[in-house]
């Protein structure tokens, strides 16, 4: 089922999950151990992340070779395995880095043949070690361009003119940033780019993680005022350790409220700190539910216990 249809048909609170493929050389069973206990909450869909490879240079026999090394391969395979095992819809992340628009088209055709109906279209971060995003030759620079390409394929228009071309049936999700994307000069400019993605064919938005209800509420209100009418799913991350108080703002360019920080710092043990973090995020979810969100999307980061603890409190 397409994500947009799942949102429309949901009668109860819709839960969805985001997972990270296991590192190269690890077993998929480790990922199944994360997902298994979460299936009791009937996730409407599971999205699977994808990242650019790290490029390294190695010298062999006097010649220098450029070698891409992907830490977490197999996103499409993970999607197929998860769908087969759990009978749940999966949403592969599709990025710009590493693909020309022609390679993008070929990959989308393969996904279409596999019966995957959902795509999460994001620009993606620069590869590890790089500070700025550089598009591939003949590749897209902005996520809105990828959205437009997917939308065109849904209309039966490919990069070359084809007779009797069959349209694809992708439901397109995109990312939204309640505290703005870190590369945008201001929130208004970031909202402008988000509207471009919607205008070019995006069906729904999932937000970057946030930790204050008013941040999401204000974001939705400003998006609606800008003419963005598609569903906006809040992205939620259970926070469990003191180390995350510094790593999450650094890595995801977000703000943590004093209430959350103080409750975790004042805890006497790591277990109590974890409990305080989960309790805070539970309260945040309850505020979102009262606000009437179309669902809650949980970033598991490849770890299932924190998500399980959060959901067990929400669905007592």
Active site residue 59: no
How many domains does the chain contain in total? 1
Q: What is the pLDDT of residue 272?
A: 96
Give the global pTM. 0.91
**3-state SS class at 155:** coil
Instruction: Give the integer Cα–Cα distance in Å for 46 and 17.
Output: 5
Q: Which candidate, 22, 74, 18, 77, places its Cα nearest to that of 44?
A: 18
**DSSP code, position 46:** E
Contact call for residues 55 and 127 (beta carbons, < 8 A): yes
Whether the CB-CB separation of 212 and 256 falls below 8 Å is answered with: no
Number of Cβ within 10 Å of residue 247's Cβ equals: 11
Query: Are β-strands 63-69 and 54-60 bridged in parallel, bridged antiparallel, or unpaired?
Result: antiparallel
Beta-bridge partner residues of 19? 48
Here the CATH number for the domain that contains residue 220 is: 3.20.20.220
State the residue range of the domain holding 81.
3-314
Rounded Cα distance, 118 and 44, in Å = 12
Closest CA to 281 of 307, 262, 303, 252: 307
The candidate with the shortest Cα–Cα distance to 41, out of 14, 3, 4, 18, is 14
Sequential pLDDT tens for the chain (316 residues): 999 999 999 988 999 999 988 877 778 898 899 999 999 999 999 999 987 655 555 556 656 555 556 566 678 889 999 999 999 999 999 988 878 999 999 999 999 998 999 999 999 877 666 778 877 888 899 999 999 999 999 999 999 888 888 999 999 999 999 999 999 999 999 999 999 999 999 999 999 999 999 999 999 999 999 999 999 999 999 999 999 999 999 989 999 999 999 999 999 999 999 999 999 999 999 999 999 999 999 999 877 899 999 999 998 7
pLDDT at 63: 60
Q: How far apart are CA 138 and CA 102, in angstroms?
A: 8
Tell me how many degrees the CA angle 136-138-139 measures, rounded to the nearest 5: 50
Cα–Cα distance, 128 to 68 (Å, whole number): 11
The answer to whether 314 and 285 are in contact (CB under 8 A) is yes
Q: Are 285 and 310 in contact (CB under 8 A)?
A: yes
Residue 214 has a pLDDT of 97
User: Is residue 53 within 8 Å of 96, Cβ to Cβ?
Assistant: no
Residue of 18, 117, 148, 179 with catalytic role: 18
Distance CA 227, CA 246 (A): 35
């Amino acid at each position: 089922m397409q994500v947009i249809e799942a949102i429309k048909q949901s009668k109860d609170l819709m839960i969805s999950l985001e997972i990270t493929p296991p590192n190269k050389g690890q077993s998929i069973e480790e990922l199944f151990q994360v997902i298994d206990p979460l299936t009791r909450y009937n996730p409407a869909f599971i999205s699977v992340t994808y990242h650019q490879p790290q490029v390294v240079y190695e010298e062999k026999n006097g010649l220098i070779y450029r070698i891409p090394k992907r830490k977490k391969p197999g996103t499409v395979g993970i999607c197929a395995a998860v769908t087969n095992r759990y009978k749940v819809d999966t949403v592969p992340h599709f990025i710009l880095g590493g693909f020309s628009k022609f390679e993008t088209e070929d990959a989308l055709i393969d996904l279409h043949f596999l019966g995957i109906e959902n795509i999460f279209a994001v620009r993606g971060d620069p590869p590890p070690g790089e500070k700025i995003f550089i598009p591939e030759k003949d590749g897209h620079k902005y996520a809105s361009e990828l959205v437009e390409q997917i939308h065109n394929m849904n209309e039966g228009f490919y990069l070359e003119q084809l007779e009797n071309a069959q349209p694809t049936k992708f439901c397109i999700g995109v990312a939204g940033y309640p505290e703005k994307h870190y590369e945008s000069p201001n929130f208004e400019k970031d909202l402008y780019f988000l509207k471009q993605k919607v205008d070019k064919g995006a069906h729904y938005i999932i937000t970057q993680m946030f930790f204050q209800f008013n941040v999401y509420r204000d974001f939705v209100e400003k998006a609606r005022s800008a003419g963005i009418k598609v569903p906006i799913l809040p992205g939620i991350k259970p926070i469990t350790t003191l180390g995350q108080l510094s790593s999450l703002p650094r890595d995801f360019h977000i703000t943590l409220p004093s209430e959350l920080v103080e409750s975790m710092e004042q805890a006497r043990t790591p277990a109590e700190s974890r409990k305080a973090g989960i309790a805070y995020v539970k309260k945040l979810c309850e505020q979102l539910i009262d606000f009437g969100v179309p669902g809650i999307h949980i970033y598991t980061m490849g770890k299932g216990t924190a998500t399980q603890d959060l959901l067990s409190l929400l669905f007592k």
